[in-house]
Chains A and B, each alone.
Chain A
Amino acid sequence: MAAVMNSLPAKPSASALPAHGRTVALGVLAFAVLAVVGFFSPKWLTFLITMAAANGLVSLGIVCLMRGGVVPFGQGMVFAIGGYTAALMFNKLGFTDALGLPLAGGLVAVLIAAPFAPLLSRYRGIFFAMLTLALSMVTYGLLMKLDMLGGSDGFNVGRPTLLGQKLPDARVGYILYLVTLGVATVMGLLARVYFDSTRGLVTLAVRENELRVEYLGGSVRQAMAINFVLAAFCGGLGGALVVMSLGHIEPNFSFWTTSGEFVFVAILAGWQSVAAVFVASTVLEVVRSFSSAYFPNTWQLALGLFLLFVIRFLPKGIGSLWTKGSTK
């Protein structure tokens, strides 16, 4: 029987084939549903989801790196670079487009992070985490000291435009909500495509066995460096989007506790599902908002207990609820 089984050709199942069409459809559907929900939602809720989506982008970058087996503790650096880039372009250059600013934030974050990628790709574990933390804290120190960047107080940013049009007062929050959700949807879909690609699979392999990847002809350092740069782009995008909605930037964007929150979301989400990153980011914002309202000085306690709960019962993150059995 075994011999007969062995001789049977193994046909790829439908589920084994790429399902990007389905993923895109789901992403577009999610965006459409949230767009409608946002239209009828109170301002505080659209703002909360805007922040969750923008911060979720930073955590998505961390998930990129987590899939390769490393966790950065300093993503606040690229978050701040993206934010300051958007804010400075707005205030100093007069460039105010709500789609162009995030793109510029992401690209400048890549430009600044890329030279560090070859160095960081050599390190793993706590060394990688601490090096990224060190970079973010150096950035924080510089931002605090540079008066031209507003020093410790930071500075305010005006209201962006969209495709040359001024945003109406009554709808500015909703339009920025749509822009942020749109960028998050596009980046989420691109991340899914990347995770399912040959490079994405090699990243998973790096996490488990670097030696074998090298013996199969793959480059571990290249994979790690690319993931670091992609994470920088996501972080820069997120920073710029947050600044546009907040209307303010300050050095705290690069502080280690900010980086810690992004890591918190990434761990909460797990590394298997892209959607889980945004769900986890929303959960964090909800827990933070309601805890702040009802337990003003102990919201971190509520957050910690929530994380303990998730680690105990969902060690692979929220995403494992709907990716059960998946090895990717």
Chain B
Amino acid sequence: MTALLEARGVNKRFGAVVAAADIDISIAAGERVSLIGSNGAGKTTFVNMITGYLKPDEGRITLDGRDITPLAPRAITRLGVARSFQIPQLYGDLSVLDNMLVANACHDQALSFWQPARRASALDRADALLERFRLAEHRERRVAELPGGIRKLLDIAMALTAAPKLLLLDEPTSGVSAEEKFPMMETIMSALGQEAMTVLFVEHDMDIVERYASRVVAFYSGRIIADGVPGEALATDDVRRYVTGELLQE
């Protein structure tokens, strides 16, 4: 498979803290990659560097062979990278539908002064995504009044509006109760199932990682300590010591 995303020699420091150390990774189109690691391991920093929110101190990141390292988040989004956030970044005063319409409007290359945001084609696109994420019943509700799980789904649905090549999900199940995690991931994955897109998701729950990832990349102190299919990567000593803590318990 051809590489969609490549990072070569990526380094990032925050003062004395090493957030990324010589990251070399190649991700093929269509892969479902889970980024795992303890807090501060460098997962979100890596996601933030892919999306242009942070710039690496050294190294380069390419998308479809194009260097995206110096680009701003907006430019990277327009090249086909979308993301959701650990804390959903939504418009609390607007309705669920209007949040989707904002995503639609931003995605449109030519924003219009007179084309109504609530035109039929935009409503159809928004409704189709709300259906896929089982959010249709919340369509007219104000986002500030919604529970956390619904907000998470809306956050991801908005990211999907642009039909990205690469979708980055930052802890999609964080803040969701243990009983709701699997139903939520089922909803997300079934919604994504219709898209032939590459997905990188940061996750702490190893059961979810094993079930939904085709590949696992484990981080520790800004370094990649394991990379492979879930069964193999999760069984390595480094992952068991630094990520899951199993060896420490033994």
By a beta-carbon cutoff of 8 Å, the part of chain A in contact with chain B is: 2, 5-12, 16-18, 20, 193-194, 196-202, 204-205, 208-209, 211-219, 327-328
Contact = CB atoms under 8 A, between A and B. Distances in A.
Contacts, number: 136
B91 A204 contact: yes
Contact of A213 (B106, B136, B162): B106
A217 B112 contact: no
A204 B83 CA distance: 21
Counting chain B CB atoms within 10 Å of each CB, the highest count among A5, A18, A213, A216 belongs to A216
Given A18-B119, A209-B90, A201 B73 contact: no
A215 B130 CA distance: 20
A2 B95 CA distance: 20
A216 B114 contact: no
B111 to A, nearest CB: 5
B77 A328 contact: no
Q: Is the interface of A mostly helix, strand, loop or mixed?
A: helix
B180 interface: no
B113 A197 contact: yes
Contacts of B114: 193-194, 197
B91 A16 contact: no
B120 A10 contact: no
B47 to A, nearest CB: 12
A10 B91 contact: no
A18 B131 contact: no
B106 A216 contact: yes
A217 B136 contact: no
Interface residues of B, number: 49
Nearest to B116: A18
Interface in B72-121: 72-74, 77-78, 82-83, 89-95, 97-98, 101-108, 111-120
A12 B105 contact: no
Nearest to A328: B98
B129 to A, nearest CB: 11
A219 B116 contact: no
Contact of B112 (A6, A199, A328): A199
A56 to B, nearest CB: 21
Contacts of B94: 204-205, 208, 327-328
A327 B142 contact: yes
Contact of B116 (A5, A9, A197, A215): A197
A6 B137 contact: yes
A7 B190 CA distance: 14
A18 B139 CA distance: 17
B93 A327 contact: yes
B152 to A, nearest CB: 14
A125 to B, nearest CB: 18
A199 B113 contact: yes
A198 B158 contact: no
Contact of B106 (A10, A202, A204): A202
Contacts of B51: 215
A211 B113 CA distance: 22
